[in-house]
Structure 1
Amino acid sequence: MQKTILWDGLLNDTDEHCNVNFLSDAIMVRSEIEGWAQGMPIYADYTLKLTPAWEVQEFKINFHVKDTQHQYTLLRDANNNWTDASGRSHPEFEGCRFIDISLTPFTNSLPINGLFLPHGESSDFDLVYMDIVANEIRKEHQKYTKAGHHNYHFENADASFTADITVDDDGFVTDYPELFTMIQPK
């Protein structure tokens, strides 16, 4: 099964075209983001290889902010240890199963689909956060609460940012207030 999704960035003037392929042993994602963020031209393309439980196995991103190009590759093993493309270990990400990429709502789908939260239940966890505009990759702590069949409440570690996110039947963001809206699922 394959799903194609288009998102419109509301806070930043961006568009994203995302393809998700569900295979028997993995979920493969390929996406492109382009537009303007914080007054700078942005282009990013990323690929994710996920387990059927929505946990990251491999993450590759290539992005341009203004005229500067950046590229990252990270791999996660079955023990939640992370390495880069050269094999260098990244113990700061140990234990992280998910990734969150700024400028896309897609990565919200990883914990939404991977945590299997019952209505009213919450889960907080560490993940790898990729800030495209700042060119930073770091560990962050997040919390999701299932507020309804298609609704989740999101909080960052210190609750300085919260959002009530609406998703479709497949757990993909349809409305992330003031940040993203889905414009075409297929």
Structure 2
Amino acid sequence: MATEAKTVTRELLWRRVMDELGFEHAQVRRGPEGTEFSGVILVAEQGAPLRAEYSVVCDDAWRTRRVSVTQAWRGERRTLTLEHDGEGRWRKDGAAAAELEGCMDVDLGLSPSTNALPINRLRLHEGTSAEIRAAWVRFPSLEVVPARQGYARVGPARYRYESLESAFTAMLDVDADGLPIEYAGIWRRLAGGPAAPASVTQEFVDALVSPGPSGELGDAAATFGWLVGGWAGTIQDHDPDGTVRQSDGEWWFHWVLDGRALQDVFIVPSRRAAAQPAPGANKRYGTTVRSFERNSGKWRIVWVSPTGGAINRLDGGREGDRLVLLGEHAGKPIRWSFSDIGPDRFTWRGEVQDSAGQWSLQSRFDMRRIA
């Protein structure tokens, strides 16, 4: 689905009246190419606060096409991305999800809003019913499983929902847009109305940032995808005379451009330390865009540094347990590599090659995950 801006048409608030332990705040954006649901769910889960931010994008036939979920619970932040080709084939976090074959809708287990997806897609006449397969997202595990479900339209604005595997049934009262008003005493809508337009800043972020990698990348997404999130650490610059200058820095990564590229923002000294800068590593405030070229099997890298005036182009990929990128700067070959890679750490080395073919270390960044 195209990422062009859509008009925000509605804003809604539900309360989980079953146990009084949750709320959902959602926005519905309608456009000629489809509909997007996005929102925040706040619930008490097993005695701990759970926050889930989600986005569900549907095409103009109300088929779920893209889903992203970010969950914070018990000190851990986790993400989930689903992509659907509209014909029943799914990808989960960039990898094929054969177990979801045939599912046409997503069902977020904590959300009443996603019941609107099959209701609008099926367009049942009163007195008729249909059976569907949905990609059911369970919380807090973020496990995704196929679920057989039934919907029957039993009145002008009333549906009976049934889980065909557990025999659970519930009545749904909906509005003219198929959005739940009352969900069998489990969820109840508290408020609704037009939403204020998003700020220009938010519209820019929405246009740039993607919830996950594009399915076009396939397995190549894993090469750099593990970097998504935030990192902080020690930055060293090694001068030719042997002097080592040190500072701290921060590094942020995210998928962009409909998931076809990975972009970062690199800041030295970190914003935390910027108020009282100390002598140390070179000042850096720049960005890198990484994109994959399938023909060559290499990742193409462009680093832009407004503070230093550098624009470096490199390419490469995985070499054993390292990621190695080669390029040129000021007429000399350069090599940047990720090594000592762990779940919450890595080392990033920058080297330059002399006329004799020897590599010497110019910079070393020892980073640890912070988000």
Whether TM-score is above 0.5 comes out as yes
Mapping of 1:1-186 within 5 angstroms?
2-12=9-19, 13-86=21-94, 88-158=95-165, 160-186=167-193
The one-letter code sitting in structure 1 at the alignment partner of 2:192 is: P
Task: Classify the secondary structure of the residue corresponding to 1:112.
Answer: helix
Alpha-carbon shift at residue 159 of structure 1 (Å): 5.1
CA distance in 1, matches of 2:18, 2:47: 11
Task: Classify the secondary structure of the residue corresponding to 2:127.
Answer: coil
CA contact (8 A) 1:9 1:103 kept: no
TM-score, normalization by structure 2: 0.48
TM-score, normalization by structure 1: 0.94
CA distance in 1, matches of 2:137, 2:151: 18
Q: Which runs of 5+ in 2 are unaligned?
A: 1-6, 194-371
CA distance in 1, matches of 2:63, 2:46: 30
The one-letter code sitting in structure 1 at the alignment partner of 2:191 is: Q
Deviation sequence 1:100-140 (CA, Å, 0-9, x none): 11111001000111101011101011110001134321111
Deviation sequence 1:75-112 (CA, Å, 0-9, x none): 011332111343x1111111111011111100100011
CA distance in 1, matches of 2:107, 2:51: 17
CA distance in 1, matches of 2:107, 2:82: 13
**What is the aligned partner in structure 1 of residue 229 from structure 2?**
none
Deviation sequence 1:29-59 (CA, Å, 0-9, x none): 2110113134331100000110122111100
The one-letter code sitting in structure 2 at the alignment partner of 1:55 is: R
The one-letter code sitting in structure 1 at the alignment partner of 2:75 is: D
CA contact (8 A) 2:63 2:86 kept: no
CA RMSD, Structure 1 to Structure 2 (Å): 1.4
After alignment, is 159-168 or 98-107 more displaced? 159-168
CA distance in 2, matches of 1:119, 1:132: 33
Task: Classify the secondary structure of the residue corresponding to 1:109.
Answer: helix
The alpha-carbon distance between structure 1 residues 78 and 135, as it changes in their structure 2 partners (threshold 3 A), is closer
CA distance in 1, matches of 2:22, 2:54: 15
CA distance in 2, matches of 1:167, 1:120: 16
The alpha-carbon distance between structure 1 residues 63 and 183, as it changes in their structure 2 partners (threshold 3 A), is same
Task: Classify the secondary structure of the residue corresponding to 1:5.
Answer: strand
Alpha-carbon shift at residue 19 of structure 1 (Å): 0.5
Task: Classify the secondary structure of the residue corresponding to 2:87.
Answer: coil
CA distance in 2, matches of 1:158, 1:90: 21
Task: Classify the secondary structure of the residue corresponding to 2:39.
Answer: strand
Larger-gyration structure (1/2): 2
CA distance in 1, matches of 2:81, 2:188: 28
The one-letter code sitting in structure 1 at the alignment partner of 2:57 is: K
Work out the number of aligned pairs and report it: 185
CA contact (8 A) 1:14 1:37 kept: no
The one-letter code sitting in structure 1 at the alignment partner of 2:101 is: E
After alignment, is 63-72 or 19-28 more displaced? 63-72
Overall identity of the aligned pairs, in %: 26
The alpha-carbon distance between structure 1 residues 132 and 159, as it changes in their structure 2 partners (threshold 3 A), is closer
